[in-house]
């Protein structure tokens, strides 16, 4: 359920939608970050909104922004960057680069709905991956496996084609039990496997990845707007 939008400009999009346009991880974007300048206030607003991540755009021209979960500030995250790049173009302000605290992230637009961003594997450090025998085993999980720390469980759907079934459990204790689509975890898995992937995550999301010779990895996916509630 999308929360009622606050007085400052909040946009909501679904990021990494499936081929049918459904699925995708909801993202909140505060267009004017100056309206919420304090880090504690940003974290509190992110917790109030309840999205897995909320973006605060500090300077649209330079691409400078801030990413918050309900409990922590993130230096890099895939779905917030893909969603924000799409939104800025939708608002008539396309960008070539976004600048979260991790560093400069190149942006590539691919048609009307698909956006790619390129990040470095070290920016997604700390996420553990665990391979399961079959996609059925991944689907059978009724919640996060025991343990602490972010976990990306996955299985090959078609090894030759590079298609993967995955689910992501942040295990942060902040109310986000499972993430619908997680770009940073997809980046980690792509780095570990050393190949391009087509990942089907959550209930209906799709993340595509592409490694580059310089060590960066591109994350791509489709974005759809979420209309404001009446």
Q: Are residues 14 and 103 in the same domain?
A: yes
| Burial class of residue 150, CB neighbours in 10 A (0-12, 13-18, 19+) | buried
CA 74, CA 55: separation in Å to the nearest integer? 10
pLDDT more than 70, % of the chain: 96
pTM over 0.85: yes
Is position 115 within any domain?
A: no
Write the CATH number for 137: 3.10.310.10
Q: What is the pLDDT of residues 168-203, one digit of tens each?
A: 999 988 888 999 999 999 999 999 999 999 999 999
pLDDT more than 90, % of the chain: 90
Stretch 75-85: mean pLDDT? 98
Is position 117 within any domain?
A: no
The band of 4, judged by pLDDT with boundaries at 50, 70 and 90, is: very low
Domain extent, residue 175, equals 123-219
Is position 112 within any domain?
A: no
């Amino acid at each position: 359920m999308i929360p009622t939008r606050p007085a400052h400009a909040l946009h909501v999009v679904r990021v990494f939608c499936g081929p049918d346009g459904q699925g995708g991880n909801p993202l909140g974007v505060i267009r004017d970050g100056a309206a919420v300048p304090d880090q504690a206030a940003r974290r509190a607003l992110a917790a109030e909104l309840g999205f897995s991540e909320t973006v605060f755009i500090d300077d649209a021209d330079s691409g400078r922004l801030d990413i918050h979960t309900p409990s922590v500030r993130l230096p890099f995250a895939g779905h917030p960057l893909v969603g924000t790049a799409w939104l800025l173009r939708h608002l008539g302000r396309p960008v070539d680069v976004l600048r979260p605290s991790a560093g400069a992230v190149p942006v590539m637009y691919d048609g009307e709905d698909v956006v790619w961003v390129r990040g470095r594997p070290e920016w997604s450090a700390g996420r553990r991956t665990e391979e399961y025998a079959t996609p059925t085993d991944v689907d059978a999980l009724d919640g996060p496996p025991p343990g602490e720390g972010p976990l990306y469980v996955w299985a090959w759907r078609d090894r030759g084609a590079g298609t993967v079934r995955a689910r992501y459990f942040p295990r942060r204790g902040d109310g986000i039990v499972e993430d619908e689509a997680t770009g940073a975890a997809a980046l980690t898995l792509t780095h570990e496997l050393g190949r391009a992937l087509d990942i089907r995550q959550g209930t209906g999301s799709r993340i595509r990845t592409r490694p580059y010779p310089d060590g960066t990895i591109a994350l791509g996916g489709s974005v759809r707007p979420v209309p404001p509630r009446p």
